[in-house]
Chain A
Amino acid sequence: MVFSIALRFVRDRSVAEELAQDVFLKLYRELPRLESPEHVKFWLRRVTSHRALDYIRGAHRRAELALDDVPEPTVAGKHNDPLMERSLRKLVSSLPDQARAVIVLRYQEDMEPQEIAEVLGIPAATVKSRLRRSLALLRGKVQRLVGEPIR
Protein backbone atom coordinates (compact mmCIF):
# COMPACT_ATOMS: atom_id res chain seq x y z
CA MET A 1 0.00 0.00 0.00
CA VAL A 2 2.63 2.51 1.09
CA PHE A 3 5.07 1.80 -1.73
CA SER A 4 2.26 1.67 -4.27
CA ILE A 5 0.80 5.04 -3.24
CA ALA A 6 4.25 6.61 -3.24
CA LEU A 7 5.09 5.12 -6.63
CA ARG A 8 1.90 6.38 -8.30
CA PHE A 9 2.37 9.82 -6.78
CA VAL A 10 6.08 10.32 -7.53
CA ARG A 11 6.35 7.98 -10.57
CA ASP A 12 9.90 6.94 -9.70
CA ARG A 13 10.64 3.55 -8.14
CA SER A 14 13.79 4.52 -6.22
CA VAL A 15 12.20 7.71 -4.87
CA ALA A 16 9.05 5.75 -4.00
CA GLU A 17 11.10 3.19 -2.08
CA GLU A 18 12.98 5.91 -0.22
CA LEU A 19 9.71 7.61 0.68
CA ALA A 20 8.11 4.32 1.74
CA GLN A 21 11.11 3.52 3.96
CA ASP A 22 10.85 6.98 5.54
CA VAL A 23 7.15 6.40 6.19
CA PHE A 24 7.77 3.04 7.88
CA LEU A 25 10.58 4.54 9.95
CA LYS A 26 8.21 7.28 11.05
CA LEU A 27 5.59 4.62 11.78
CA TYR A 28 8.10 2.87 14.05
CA ARG A 29 8.54 6.11 16.01
CA GLU A 30 4.83 6.92 16.13
CA LEU A 31 3.51 3.40 16.74
CA PRO A 32 2.89 3.84 20.50
CA ARG A 33 0.52 6.73 19.71
CA LEU A 34 -1.54 4.79 17.16
CA GLU A 35 -4.57 3.14 18.69
CA SER A 36 -5.81 0.47 16.25
CA PRO A 37 -5.02 -1.23 12.93
CA GLU A 38 -7.52 1.12 11.26
CA HIS A 39 -5.71 4.09 12.76
CA VAL A 40 -2.40 2.71 11.46
CA LYS A 41 -3.88 2.27 7.97
CA PHE A 42 -5.28 5.80 7.96
CA TRP A 43 -2.01 7.16 9.33
CA LEU A 44 0.05 5.32 6.65
CA ARG A 45 -2.14 6.61 3.83
CA ARG A 46 -2.08 10.16 5.16
CA VAL A 47 1.66 10.33 5.83
CA THR A 48 2.55 8.64 2.54
CA SER A 49 0.29 10.99 0.57
CA HIS A 50 1.66 14.10 2.26
CA ARG A 51 5.28 12.98 1.96
CA ALA A 52 4.84 12.15 -1.71
CA LEU A 53 3.05 15.42 -2.48
CA ASP A 54 5.76 17.33 -0.58
CA TYR A 55 8.40 15.54 -2.64
CA ILE A 56 6.60 16.37 -5.89
CA ARG A 57 6.25 20.02 -4.89
CA GLY A 58 9.97 20.14 -4.07
CA ALA A 59 11.14 18.31 -7.14
CA HIS A 60 9.60 20.68 -9.71
CA ARG A 61 9.90 18.16 -12.45
CA ARG A 62 7.01 17.65 -14.78
CA ALA A 63 8.73 15.84 -17.59
CA GLU A 64 6.64 13.88 -20.04
CA LEU A 65 6.80 10.23 -19.04
CA ALA A 66 7.88 7.40 -21.24
CA LEU A 67 5.49 4.48 -21.25
CA ASP A 68 8.03 2.29 -19.41
CA ASP A 69 8.12 4.70 -16.45
CA VAL A 70 4.48 4.08 -15.60
CA PRO A 71 4.28 1.58 -12.72
CA GLU A 72 2.87 -1.80 -13.63
CA PRO A 73 0.81 -3.79 -11.14
CA THR A 74 2.44 -7.06 -10.16
CA VAL A 75 -0.80 -9.07 -10.10
CA ALA A 76 -2.84 -9.46 -13.26
CA GLY A 77 -6.54 -8.66 -12.95
CA LYS A 78 -9.53 -10.52 -14.30
CA HIS A 79 -10.99 -9.56 -17.67
CA ASN A 80 -8.17 -7.12 -18.18
CA ASP A 81 -7.27 -5.33 -21.31
CA PRO A 82 -3.53 -4.84 -20.88
CA LEU A 83 -3.28 -2.14 -23.51
CA MET A 84 -6.21 -0.17 -22.09
CA GLU A 85 -4.90 -0.53 -18.54
CA ARG A 86 -1.46 0.61 -19.57
CA SER A 87 -2.92 3.58 -21.40
CA LEU A 88 -5.05 4.46 -18.39
CA ARG A 89 -2.04 4.30 -16.08
CA LYS A 90 -0.17 6.62 -18.38
CA LEU A 91 -3.13 8.98 -18.54
CA VAL A 92 -3.42 8.98 -14.73
CA SER A 93 0.31 9.68 -14.48
CA SER A 94 -0.11 12.70 -16.70
CA LEU A 95 -2.80 14.24 -14.45
CA PRO A 96 -1.89 17.25 -12.24
CA ASP A 97 -0.44 16.19 -8.85
CA GLN A 98 -3.50 16.89 -6.69
CA ALA A 99 -5.90 15.30 -9.17
CA ARG A 100 -3.64 12.25 -9.49
CA ALA A 101 -3.53 11.94 -5.70
CA VAL A 102 -7.31 11.90 -5.51
CA ILE A 103 -7.64 9.36 -8.35
CA VAL A 104 -4.99 7.05 -6.86
CA LEU A 105 -6.58 7.10 -3.43
CA ARG A 106 -10.06 6.58 -4.94
CA TYR A 107 -9.24 3.75 -7.33
CA GLN A 108 -6.10 2.11 -5.98
CA GLU A 109 -7.01 2.36 -2.29
CA ASP A 110 -10.79 2.17 -2.91
CA MET A 111 -11.39 5.09 -0.56
CA GLU A 112 -14.56 7.16 -0.31
CA PRO A 113 -14.34 10.93 -1.04
CA GLN A 114 -14.81 11.70 2.66
CA GLU A 115 -11.88 9.43 3.59
CA ILE A 116 -9.72 10.99 0.87
CA ALA A 117 -10.61 14.42 2.21
CA GLU A 118 -9.47 13.38 5.71
CA VAL A 119 -6.25 11.86 4.43
CA LEU A 120 -5.30 14.83 2.26
CA GLY A 121 -6.64 17.43 4.67
CA ILE A 122 -8.89 19.10 2.12
CA PRO A 123 -12.69 19.57 2.00
CA ALA A 124 -14.78 16.64 0.74
CA ALA A 125 -16.36 18.97 -1.84
CA THR A 126 -12.92 19.67 -3.29
CA VAL A 127 -12.22 15.93 -3.51
CA LYS A 128 -15.51 15.35 -5.31
CA SER A 129 -14.93 18.17 -7.78
CA ARG A 130 -11.38 16.97 -8.48
CA LEU A 131 -12.70 13.45 -9.03
CA ARG A 132 -15.36 14.74 -11.44
CA ARG A 133 -12.90 16.87 -13.37
CA SER A 134 -10.26 14.13 -13.50
CA LEU A 135 -12.75 11.50 -14.63
CA ALA A 136 -14.10 13.82 -17.32
CA LEU A 137 -10.55 14.46 -18.47
CA LEU A 138 -9.72 10.76 -18.49
CA ARG A 139 -12.95 9.88 -20.31
CA GLY A 140 -12.15 12.42 -22.99
CA LYS A 141 -8.61 11.12 -23.42
CA VAL A 142 -9.73 7.48 -23.47
CA GLN A 143 -12.42 8.36 -25.98
CA ARG A 144 -9.83 9.92 -28.26
CA LEU A 145 -7.63 6.88 -27.71
CA VAL A 146 -10.16 4.17 -28.50
CA GLY A 147 -12.39 6.17 -30.76
CA GLU A 148 -15.67 5.55 -28.94
CA PRO A 149 -17.47 7.31 -26.06
CA ILE A 150 -16.82 6.02 -22.52
CA ARG A 151 -18.83 6.72 -19.38
Chain B
Amino acid sequence: MKPNEIDEQLKRALRRCEPPEGFADRVLARVEREASRTTSRSVWTVWRWPFLRWAPIAALIVIAVTGISYQVHERQQEAEARAAKQQVMLALRITGSKLRVAKQKVKSVEAGKVENKL
Protein backbone atom coordinates (compact mmCIF):
# COMPACT_ATOMS: atom_id res chain seq x y z
CA MET B 1 0.00 0.00 0.00
CA LYS B 2 1.25 3.48 -0.93
CA PRO B 3 1.39 6.33 1.62
CA ASN B 4 -1.94 8.09 2.21
CA GLU B 5 -3.70 5.38 0.26
CA ILE B 6 -6.35 5.17 2.92
CA ASP B 7 -7.09 8.88 2.35
CA GLU B 8 -7.75 8.25 -1.33
CA GLN B 9 -9.75 5.12 -0.61
CA LEU B 10 -11.86 6.97 1.95
CA LYS B 11 -12.53 9.77 -0.54
CA ARG B 12 -13.62 7.23 -3.12
CA ALA B 13 -15.68 5.22 -0.66
CA LEU B 14 -17.39 8.28 0.77
CA ARG B 15 -18.43 9.89 -2.50
CA ARG B 16 -21.65 11.82 -2.18
CA CYS B 17 -24.89 9.85 -2.49
CA GLU B 18 -27.68 11.22 -4.64
CA PRO B 19 -30.99 11.77 -2.84
CA PRO B 20 -33.89 9.46 -3.70
CA GLU B 21 -35.97 10.16 -6.79
CA GLY B 22 -38.53 12.92 -6.28
CA PHE B 23 -36.65 14.40 -3.34
CA ALA B 24 -36.48 17.89 -4.88
CA ASP B 25 -40.23 17.79 -5.65
CA ARG B 26 -41.03 16.78 -2.09
CA VAL B 27 -38.85 19.58 -0.70
CA LEU B 28 -40.52 22.12 -3.01
CA ALA B 29 -43.96 20.88 -1.96
CA ARG B 30 -43.04 21.38 1.70
CA VAL B 31 -41.65 24.83 0.95
CA GLU B 32 -44.88 25.76 -0.88
CA ARG B 33 -46.98 24.51 2.04
CA GLU B 34 -44.78 26.49 4.41
CA ALA B 35 -45.05 29.59 2.20
CA SER B 36 -48.87 29.45 2.07
CA ARG B 37 -49.05 28.83 5.81
CA THR B 38 -46.72 31.75 6.43
CA THR B 39 -48.88 34.03 4.26
CA SER B 40 -52.08 33.18 6.11
CA ARG B 41 -50.25 33.41 9.41
CA SER B 42 -48.78 36.78 8.46
CA VAL B 43 -52.31 38.14 7.93
CA TRP B 44 -53.17 37.14 11.48
CA THR B 45 -49.83 38.49 12.65
CA VAL B 46 -50.61 41.85 11.05
CA TRP B 47 -54.05 41.75 12.69
CA ARG B 48 -52.30 41.26 16.03
CA TRP B 49 -50.39 44.52 15.65
CA PRO B 50 -51.82 46.86 18.33
CA PHE B 51 -52.21 49.71 15.86
CA LEU B 52 -54.17 47.66 13.33
CA ARG B 53 -56.21 45.91 15.99
CA TRP B 54 -57.43 49.23 17.41
CA ALA B 55 -57.67 51.04 14.06
CA PRO B 56 -61.33 50.09 13.34
CA ILE B 57 -62.36 51.05 16.86
CA ALA B 58 -60.51 54.35 16.56
CA ALA B 59 -62.18 54.98 13.20
CA LEU B 60 -65.62 54.29 14.72
CA ILE B 61 -64.89 56.71 17.57
CA VAL B 62 -63.76 59.40 15.11
CA ILE B 63 -66.89 58.90 12.98
CA ALA B 64 -69.17 59.04 16.07
CA VAL B 65 -67.48 62.16 17.46
CA THR B 66 -67.64 63.86 14.05
CA GLY B 67 -71.35 62.99 13.68
CA ILE B 68 -72.24 64.25 17.15
CA SER B 69 -70.26 67.46 16.59
CA TYR B 70 -72.08 68.02 13.32
CA GLN B 71 -75.47 67.49 14.97
CA VAL B 72 -74.61 69.90 17.80
CA HIS B 73 -73.45 72.46 15.25
CA GLU B 74 -76.68 72.03 13.25
CA ARG B 75 -78.82 72.51 16.38
CA GLN B 76 -76.87 75.61 17.34
CA GLN B 77 -77.45 77.06 13.88
CA GLU B 78 -81.18 76.24 14.08
CA ALA B 79 -81.44 77.92 17.48
CA GLU B 80 -79.60 80.99 16.19
CA ALA B 81 -81.89 81.11 13.16
CA ARG B 82 -84.99 80.87 15.38
CA ALA B 83 -83.68 83.67 17.61
CA ALA B 84 -82.91 85.84 14.57
CA LYS B 85 -86.42 85.19 13.20
CA GLN B 86 -87.99 86.16 16.50
CA GLN B 87 -85.93 89.38 16.58
CA VAL B 88 -87.03 90.23 13.04
CA MET B 89 -90.68 89.61 13.94
CA LEU B 90 -90.34 91.74 17.03
CA ALA B 91 -88.71 94.50 15.01
CA LEU B 92 -91.48 94.30 12.44
CA ARG B 93 -94.16 94.45 15.17
CA ILE B 94 -92.46 97.47 16.75
CA THR B 95 -92.09 99.12 13.38
CA GLY B 96 -95.78 98.47 12.58
CA SER B 97 -97.03 100.00 15.82
CA LYS B 98 -94.80 103.07 15.43
CA LEU B 99 -96.06 103.51 11.88
CA ARG B 100 -99.64 103.42 13.15
CA VAL B 101 -98.87 106.12 15.75
CA ALA B 102 -97.18 108.29 13.14
CA LYS B 103 -100.11 107.85 10.78
CA GLN B 104 -102.56 108.89 13.49
CA LYS B 105 -100.46 111.95 14.25
CA VAL B 106 -100.36 112.91 10.58
CA LYS B 107 -104.15 112.50 10.40
CA SER B 108 -104.72 114.63 13.48
CA VAL B 109 -102.39 117.36 12.17
CA GLU B 110 -104.20 117.41 8.84
CA ALA B 111 -107.59 117.58 10.60
CA GLY B 112 -106.38 120.60 12.67
CA LYS B 113 -105.28 122.46 9.55
CA VAL B 114 -108.69 122.00 7.90
CA GLU B 115 -110.53 123.35 10.98
CA ASN B 116 -108.25 126.42 11.03
CA LYS B 117 -109.00 127.15 7.40
CA LEU B 118 -112.71 126.99 8.04
- Residue positions of A touching B, CB distance < 8 A: 1-4, 7-8, 13, 17, 20-21, 24-25, 28-29, 71-75, 77, 79-81, 84-86, 88-89, 92, 103-104, 106-108, 110, 135, 138-139, 142, 148-151
Contacts and interface: CB of A to CB of B under 8 A. Distances in A.
A139 B6 contact: yes
Contacts of B26: 17, 21
Contacts of B116: none
A88 B34 contact: no
9 contacts: A3-B17, A8-B14, A20-B19, A21-B30, A25-B27, A73-B16, A77-B15, A88-B10, A138-B10
A74 B12 contact: no
A71 B17 contact: yes
B110 interface: no
Given A25-B34, A88-B9, A135-B6, A108 B27 contact: no
Nearest to B27: A24
Contacts of A21: 23, 26-27, 30
Given A1-B16, A73-B13, A108-B16, 19 more contacts: A3-B18, A7-B17, A8-B14, A20-B27, A21-B27, A25-B30, A28-B35, A77-B15, A85-B12, A89-B13, A104-B14, A107-B14, A110-B11, A139-B6, A148-B1, A149-B1, A150-B5, A151-B1, A151-B5
